Amino acid sequence: AVYPLAVVARKREPTPASRVALDFARTRTLSQTALATPGPWILLPDAARAALERLRRSGLPLGACASPALGVKTGADDVLLGTRCEERGTTVLVRFGEREVELERDMIRPALRGRDVSRFAARTARVVFWPYDSDGALKRDLPPLAARYARTLRARLTARADYRGDPYWTLFRVRPSLGRWRVVWADIARAPTAVALDELARDAVPLNSCSVAVPARQTVLAVAGMLNSTWARVFLRAGADEARGGYRRYNARTTATLPIPAVGPPRAALAAVSRRAHHHRDVTQPELDGAAADALDLPAAARATLRALADDLGDETIDGIAVKKIRMTFAEQGDVLAWFDKATGA
């Protein structure tokens, strides 16, 4: 994949009035001094940059509330990530690739990939082999069925790049995914979408393609609300690394800067709307955006500028095909995803 970027430069001393053109027609420009700051270049006109800066200063950065981190890494998805086939009392039949394996029920957990996360919702169609106790401690001995399966995988599991000599059935980066309260979002996506995982799927294990943060419940709900807001889509997209097809990398570096309302009534109000969005079908995008902006005390002028910028981002092109933004409620989005899973057998 190639990401072309044309830069036209002139070697001369800039002045305070020097402007950088963002297109060859020079219809969109920004002050050159705006680029003399740490961090990535935000190539947007001055008014949009000012609104983004106002948004940034309106709350605490997510990184000050929690530590975003990637989810669990198996190092061997083909043999440790599977599909539940049949319940058999205290055991369950799981398909790993082309192989069906009977395991003790407590040796698997629902697995969550980045593609399974949507706004205030999570699909857990897959399961992961989970050799850990309820407190997150790695099992030193496995029950009979799991031990039999693990023995057949020994060569495969000890060859993993991250294997360091623990029991060979160990997984990696487990600790950040075991918090009591977790907000999860896809690491690679066209727009940030998040879910407070413990509201809907408490036993689920977020995998490598997800990022997780582990603060308190009210904070988790507020963070999920912010990440699903239009303001987060605009703010994070401006600084996220680009991938092909309109996708971005919403990694720890990028998301750690997202503003979160201060502790107290503002954060509680946004958390209440977020809780409704997780459990009911009556929260719309404008209501969520309004709650997030109110919690951050975002001025009307900044809201208008950011809304216009969001509208500019509404139409995307994927592999040459123009895609028009469709407005849906969060519940309707979940219905569409469920229908697609059923239709495709995913």
Mean pLDDT calculated for residue range 286-305? 96
- Residue 179's pLDDT is 80
Distance (Å, whole) CA 222 – CA 224: 5
Q: pLDDT tens for residues 43-99?
A: 899 999 999 999 999 999 999 988 888 999 999 999 999 999 999 999 999 999 999
Distance (Å, whole) CA 310 – CA 304: 10
Mean pLDDT calculated for residue range 176-202? 90
- Residue 321's pLDDT is 38
Judge whether residue 324 has pLDDT over 80: no
Residue spans of alpha helices (H) in the chain: 46-56, 62-65, 77-80, 144-152, 154-158, 197-200, 217-227, 230-239, 252-255, 265-279, 285-295, 300-312, 330-344
Mean pLDDT calculated for residue range 319-333? 49
Return the higher-pLDDT residue of 94 and 337. 94
Provide the pLDDT confidence category of residue 340 given band limits of 50, 70 and 90: low
Note the pTM of the prediction, 2 decimals: 0.84
Mean pLDDT calculated for residue range 256-277? 94
Radius of gyration, alpha carbons of the chain? 23
- Residue 135's pLDDT is 83
- Residue 307's pLDDT is 93
- Residue 326's pLDDT is 47
